[in-house]
């Protein structure tokens, strides 16, 4: 990470989002207000043998339209998802890339599998004796980031993180560093992951996929439900955004990173890692735990992950952890893997625009130990200081503190 060399603020001026319940920022807020869920039968590939043949696919998204618009019929779905979110965010931010010094424009992204679907298609073709290496052009994790650089002309850092569920939250954290260190004026921060056989099979084998619904923080939860999508944010230096009169949706106050150093998949039952990440985010943001008024939780719906996150929240917020409104959007859009961080952040802003607290769909009853204040329906509210968590496999933890406009 880059050391903080100034107090230059980082603000969000535009957002774009594609997921199982919406194809843009405004409809995302509306769908959350209606407590919609995108759960349905998997249509991307044969789901025979999976623990749950259902997931939250972005079935309303037209990837082919993006391919046609860009004149690239071989574009992978991950790139199409990212470019669709990019188009929305740029329009919302009213940003002309030509007004940005190209060497002070950066692209940061996070993903778990990137173009895994393209890779699967290639290897199937290889087995059938139909080798087309050109189809692998968009296979790598960094392809969407390169496309964003080409679209904008940005010549600053172009980095992609793949740290399981914390991937795009880490990208968001790095954006704060680049701006506060005076290294960039504008940073595109993207999280993306398409539905893939690789992830579906892997999670099914580990038996942490729910056989029915995703019930984050519910005492009867049985596991996660996979999702897909992309969420992209335009993060600008506060002075740069003010100079051009840009709309400000949120200010990034701080972040915290930690590692459990415990196990490849199982979280540390002491919850020390997540607690450290949250406390670091509050410290960097100059905020007290008593000021947090919304928890945008990681909340996968798995037995151990939710228990550890709830324990960590109680460790950081104390008794207020049972009172501060909390939500897991994975109950609606599924677990979007590397996109989970930016998806959470955009959800918080979309909910604030509708004056609601997002629901945790399917939530019925909290656990007796370390209960959180979740609700199955949207609640009226105007959250201001948001703690957004991502906790990944291998013990990767990242918390981001956001002040909503």
For residue 103, how many other CB atoms are within 10 A of its CB?
12
Task: Give the C-alpha separation, 132 to 135, whole Å.
Answer: 6
Lookup: tokens for 151: 């679209």
Task: Give the C-alpha separation, 327 to 10, whole Å.
Answer: 25
Q: What is the DSSP secondary-structure string of 312-340?
A: HHHHHHGGGGGTSBEE-THHHH-B-GGGH
Question: Do 63 and 81 meet the contact criterion of CB atoms below 8 Å apart?
Answer: yes
Instruction: State residue 198's pLDDT score.
Output: 87
Which of the residues are catalytic? 165, 298, 335
Task: Give the C-alpha separation, 376 to 387, whole Å.
Answer: 20
Question: Do 157 and 184 meet the contact criterion of CB atoms below 8 Å apart?
Answer: yes
Strands across the sheet containing 105-110: 158-161, 105-110, 186-193, 229-237, 10-18, 250-259, 396-404, 385-392, 294-296, 326-327
- Give 366: exposed, middle or buried? Use CB within 10 Å, 0-12, 13-18, 19+: middle
- Please report where in the chains the tokens 């890692």 appear, as a residue: 273
| Side-chain half-sphere CA neighbours of 403 within 13 A | 15
Lookup: tokens for 248: 């400000």
Task: Give the C-alpha separation, 114 to 148, whole Å.
Answer: 15
Helix count (H) and strand count (E) of the chain? 12, 14
Task: Give the C-alpha separation, 400 to 254, whole Å.
Answer: 6
Query: H or E element: which one contains 140?
Result: none
Task: Give the C-alpha separation, 78 to 229, whole Å.
Answer: 8
Q: What is the pTM of this model?
A: 0.95
Q: What are phi and psi of 250, to 5 degrees?
A: -165, 160
Question: Do 310 and 357 meet the contact criterion of CB atoms below 8 Å apart?
Answer: no
For every one of its 405 residues, what pLDDT tens digit does the chain have, with 9 covering 90 and above?
Answer: 444 456 899 999 999 999 999 999 999 999 999 999 999 999 998 898 888 999 999 999 999 999 999 999 889 999 999 999 999 999 999 999 999 999 999 999 999 988 877 777 767 765 555 666 666 778 788 999 999 999 999 999 999 999 999 999 999 999 999 999 999 999 999 999 999 988 888 888 877 899 999 999 999 999 999 999 999 999 999 999 999 999 999 999 999 999 988 777 777 889 999 999 999 999 999 999 999 999 999 999 999 999 999 999 999 999 999 999 999 999 999 999 999 999 999 999 999 999 999 999 999 999 999 999 999 999 999 999 999 999 987 789 999 999 999
Task: Give the C-alpha separation, 355 to 38, whole Å.
Answer: 22
Q: In terms of Cα–Cα distance, which of 353, 142, 107, 327 is closest to 232?
A: 107
- Please report where in the chains the tokens 């949120």 appear, as a residue: 250
Read off the DSSP letter of residue 252. Answer: E
The residue count for the chain: 405
Task: Give the C-alpha separation, 401 to 128, whole Å.
Answer: 50
Question: Do 174 and 106 meet the contact criterion of CB atoms below 8 Å apart?
Answer: no
Scanning 51-159, the segments in alpha helix (DSSP H) are 63-70, 77-93, 116-127, 143-152
């Amino acid at each position: 990470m880059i050391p903080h060399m100034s107090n230059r603020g980082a603000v969000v001026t535009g957002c774009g989002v594609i997921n199982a319940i919406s194809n843009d920022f405004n409809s995302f807020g509306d769908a959350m207000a209606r407590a919609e869920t995108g759960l349905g039968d998997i249509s991307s590939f044969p789901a025979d043998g999976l623990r749950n043949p259902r997931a939250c696919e972005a079935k309303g998204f037209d990837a082919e339209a993006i391919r046609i618009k860009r004149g690239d019929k071989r574009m992978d779905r991950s790139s199409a998802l990212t470019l669709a979110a990019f188009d929305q965010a740029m329009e919302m931010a009213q940003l002309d890339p030509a007004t940005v010094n190209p060497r002070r424009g950066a692209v940061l992204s996070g993903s778990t599998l990137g173009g895994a679907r393209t890779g699967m298609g290639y290897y199937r073709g290889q087995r059938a004796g139909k080798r087309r290496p050109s189809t692998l052009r968009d296979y790598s994790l960094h392809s969407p980031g390169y496309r964003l650089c080409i679209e904008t002309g940005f010549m600053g850092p172009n980095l992609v993180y793949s740290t399981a569920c914390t991937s795009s939250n880490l990208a968001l954290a790095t954006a704060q560093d680049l701006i506060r260190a005076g290294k960039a004026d504008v940073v595109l921060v993207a999280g993306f992951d398409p539905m893939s056989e690789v992830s579906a099979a892997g999670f099914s084998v580990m038996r942490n996929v729910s056989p029915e619904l995703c019930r984050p923080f519910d005492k009867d939860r049985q596991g996660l439900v996979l999702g897909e999508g992309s969420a992209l944010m335009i993060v600008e230096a506060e002075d740069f955004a003010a100079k051009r009169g840009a709309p400000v949706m949120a200010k990034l106050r701080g972040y915290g990173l930690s590692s459990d150093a415990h196990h490849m998949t199982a979280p540390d039952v002491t919850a020390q890692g997540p607690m450290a990440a949250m406390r670091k985010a509050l410290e960097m943001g100059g905020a007290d735990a008593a000021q947090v008024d919304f928890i945008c939780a990681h909340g996968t719906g798995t037995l151990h992950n939710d228990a550890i996150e709830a324990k960590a929240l109680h460790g950081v917020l104390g008794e207020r952890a049972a009172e501060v409104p909390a939500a897991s959007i994975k109950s609606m859009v599924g677990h979007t893997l590397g996109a989970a961080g930016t998806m959470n952040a955009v959800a918080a802003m979309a909910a604030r625009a509708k004056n609601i607290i997002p629901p945790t769909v399917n939530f019925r009853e909290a656990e007796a130990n370390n209960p959180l204040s979740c609700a199955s329906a949207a609640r009226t509210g105007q959250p201001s200081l948001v703690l957004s968590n991502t906790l990944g496999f291998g013990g990767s933890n990242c918390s981001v503190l956001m002040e909503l406009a």
